[in-house]
Amino acid sequence: MNNGEGPVVKLVAHCRRCGGWLLSASSVAEGIGPTCAVHERAEHRAAAALTLFDTNEPIELTLFDTAA
Ligand SMILES: [Zn+2]
């Protein structure tokens, strides 16, 4: 049997942003602390703007072709 005798498995993890301990179940599920989640959301918004210029779609170089 293993009623309280075995190792206690706790839902703990490190925040992926600051590396701090996550102790709440919701934070562990998200992998980030609530404060860092706010910061990360803001950073994602900024990164999303940059991603617009970093797509996998081929960029048409028509402007350069016609300029040549
Ligand atoms: Zn954090």
Looking at residue 32, what is its pLDDT?
94
pLDDT band at 48 (very low <50, low <70, confident <90, very high): confident
Q: Report yes or no on 33 lying in a domain.
A: yes
Looking at residue 7, what is its pLDDT?
73
Question: From the CA of 26, how far away is ligand 1's center (Å)?
Answer: 13
Question: From the CA of 44, how far away is ligand 1's center (Å)?
Answer: 15
Q: Report yes or no on 40 lying in a domain.
A: yes
Q: Report yes or no on 25 lying in a domain.
A: yes
Look up residue 5 and give its two tokens: 């005798």
What is the domain count for the chain?
A: 1
Distance between CA atoms of 41 and 17, rounded to whole angstroms? 11
Looking at residue 46, what is its pLDDT?
87
Q: Report yes or no on 14 lying in a domain.
A: yes
Looking at residue 11, what is its pLDDT?
56
Distance between CA atoms of 7 and 68, rounded to whole angstroms? 71
Question: From the CA of 48, how far away is ligand 1's center (Å)?
Answer: 21
Q: Report yes or no on 17 lying in a domain.
A: yes
Look up residue 12 and give its two tokens: 């703990």
Q: Report yes or no on 22 lying in a domain.
A: yes
Q: Report yes or no on 34 lying in a domain.
A: yes
The structure's pTM equals 0.52
Q: Report yes or no on 63 lying in a domain.
A: no
Domain span including residue 30: 9-44
What is the biggest distance separating any 2 CA atoms in the chain, rounded to whole angstroms? Answer: 79
Question: From the CA of 38, how far away is ligand 1's center (Å)?
Answer: 10
